[in-house]
Amino acid sequence: MTRQLIAGNWKMNGTLAAAEALARALLDAPRDGIGAELLVCPPFVHLQAVGRILNGSDVALGAQDCSVAAGGAHTGDVAAPMLPELGCTHIVLGHSERRQNHHELDETVREKVVAARAAGLVPIVCVGETEEQRAAGQQDDVVGWQLKGSLPNDFADGPGVVAYEPVWAIGTGRTATEDDVAAMHGFIRAELVRQFGDKGASVRILYGGSVNATNAAALLGVPEVGGALVGGASLKPQDFLSIARAAVSGPNR
């Protein structure tokens, strides 16, 4: 049986001391009732410190972005090969905040996926529609194009994750309904199979968008939901672990 993945995206939050305290709190908390895989993605500047604390534990470490280049004259960027040295195994790519705030195109996200894979990282590729696009009934078209443009042709050949995050539900307290999630995750699964054949059936699909300890059980129980990409609640150890306790195991997880 496949376990769900509960990934915490810490975004641009926390001092060094706060990040270290959060990591230690996750490790010190009781593990009863948690069968999910756990992952946290701190800001770049805290990766080394958090990685040292998590080293050898059941909590994996991930980054929030990388450059398309493997190195060179790219001031301010971070190359994917630098990240495994800090203990990273995963990386979040194409988050809506990157797409909007940094004008990242699907093609850019795809190039980053290729760079991350070459460095041995598991990419978590984010897709999702805005409120205006959903109101216009364009959510399937938008997400379908993002999948087609953001995922390289060999995406389903190795470990890779897709995260559906409706932009209108990120950090707003609004959450997609179970029916909304079921419909979109079913659509994404069908698109993955269409793009990659049978291999697309095994790609894990996370849900993200104001996931919290209260709604986690309902959302994680939806078919084709392979886990959660958690934002604000991942900064609160007890809330994050409560979400993890709500995880389920089974096919298509």
Residues with active-site annotation:
95, 165
Q: Which residues of 240-251 are buried (b: 16+ CB within 10 A; e: fewer)?
A: bbbbbbbbbeee
Give the helix/strand (H/E) hosting 164.
strand 161-164
Of 121, 117, 44, the closest CA to residue 90 belongs to 121
Give dist(CA 198, CA 201) in Å, integer: 6
249 is in an annotated binding site: no
Residue 175 C-alpha from the chain's centroid = 16
171 is in an annotated binding site: yes
10 is in an annotated binding site: yes
The tokens of 154 are what?
A: 């060999």
Count the Cβ atoms, other than its own, within 10 Å of residue 161. Answer: 23
Give dist(CA 227, CA 182) in Å, integer: 13
232 is in an annotated binding site: yes
210 is in an annotated binding site: yes
Residues shown for the chain:
253
Give dist(CA 124, CA 7) in Å, integer: 10
The tokens of 197 are what?
A: 């054949």
Known binding residues: 9-11, 171, 210, 231-232
- Which residue ranges are tagged as binding site for substrate? 9-11, 171, 210, 231-232
